[in-house]
Amino acid sequence: MLTEQKRYKEWLKEVDSTALIQSLRNLETAFERFFKGISNYPKYRVSIILYIPIKR
pLDDT digits (tens, 9 = 90+) for 4-46: 888 888 888 888 888 888 888 988 888 898 888 888 776 666 6
Tell me, what's the pLDDT at 2?
Answer: 77
Tell me, what's the pLDDT at 51?
Answer: 63
Nearest to 2 by CA among 35, 24, 31: 24
Going from N- to C-terminal start, the domains of the chain cover 1-56
Q: CA-CA distance, 52 to 46, in Å (whole number)?
A: 19
